[in-house]
Amino acid sequence: MNEMELKYGCNPNQKPARVFMEKGDLPFTVLNGKPGYINLLDAMNSWQLVQELKKATGLPAAASFKHVSPAGAAVAVPLSETLQKTYFVEGIELSPVATAYIRARGADRMSSYGDFVALSDECDAQTASFLKREVSDGIIAPSYSEAALEILKTKRKGTYLVLQMDPNYQPEKIEKKQVFGITFEQQRNEVELTEECLKEIPTKNKDIPAAAKRDLLISLITLKYTQSNSVCYAKDGQAIGIGAGQQSRVHCTRLAGNKADIWYLRQAPQVLSLPFRDDVRRPDRDNAIDVYVGDEYMDLLGGDNWKRVFTEKPPIFTLEEKKAWLATQTGVSLGSDAFFPFGDNIERAHKSGVAYVAQAGGSIRDDNVIETCDKYNMAMAMTHIRLFHH
């Protein structure tokens, strides 16, 4: 089949809508549900992302996409005991692909609400079982076990979108799109991100260990499929904060840094010991945690509001306690899809425990950025690769 009619385009008033191939058949098969326009944009972008993560790291990869940018991306690095508790999978032996998915979904659970999931490897029954519990619009993978497919077909009253991608599909070198009746054409961004791009290190600290190189590549590959401007914080084999689509780079750095802070605050003892009621739904639990670690915790704890989610009123997570916990965050990697124009980005990154940076370089203030990295003993690689994505 080389053409598929869609319900509508980006919005219900945008009809008719379809996807089609100028040559050959569509490279995916619909196993369940009916795809929408945005579903397929998310599917094609997220598929490319997980394929590149798998190629760069040799590990199964997963991504959680919303509105054509990743909310999370990860590879199958085993979870620490703390992260098992944070992701509510304590004591469960996870398959590699399930590990990648749990990490990707756990990066920014609020943004992942209603996401589109991509897996680099076959979806197994365990991953499907975890996914069944989440609010999600669809999934793309190269294959599904028989048990996994049966589980996914029961999701969303049988309408959950399941796409099987042809792993051998290779697109044309030239890509096109239309905007306002005008056709744009360019060569596909086929730049390959490997450790070779991390060799130029102009900072005094030139030590980037293997785990940090892996995380820097994860951040850069994630940015390759994130709406620009964008930056990505990564640690332990996963993105922990993604700032997408901002006009100012420092705003990207702040947005992503705030998300990285929330990710780390979720691991604090005060959060891990929260007394949730058994009947609290997963989205309500996640929202309660984000409120608890944020500046609006009094809205949650004021009056009898806490009774909606907790069995007993938890103590307030004070600003001083949060600052003290965040000060223990270390070893974070930060990637940027273009150069950092000023050292203010590095100042903000330092507050979230960043120790390793990868950016294109080429700013007239590169010296200021390098000096700021040296101030905090960060190691920074200049890749000379811009990764704008629109």
Extract the tokens encoding 203. 């900072």
Which amino acid, one-letter code, is at 33? G
The Cα–Cα gap between 321 and 232 comes to: 26
DSSP 303-323: TTGGGGTBSSPPPP--HHHHH
Which amino acid, one-letter code, is at 260? A
The CA angle 11-17-18, to the nearest 5 degrees, is 135
Query: On the CB side of 332, how many CA atoms lie within 13 Å of its CA?
Result: 31
Extract the tokens encoding 159. 């309408």
Extract the tokens encoding 341. 């124009």
Q: For residue 308, give every residue at least 6 positions away whose Cβ sits within 8 Å of its Cβ, in sequence order, or none.
A: 284
The Cα–Cα gap between 57 and 225 comes to: 17
**How far is residue 57 from each of residues 24, 119, 129, 258, 359, measured CA to CA in Å?**
31, 14, 26, 27, 19
Q: Which residues are catalytic?
A: 66-67, 229, 390
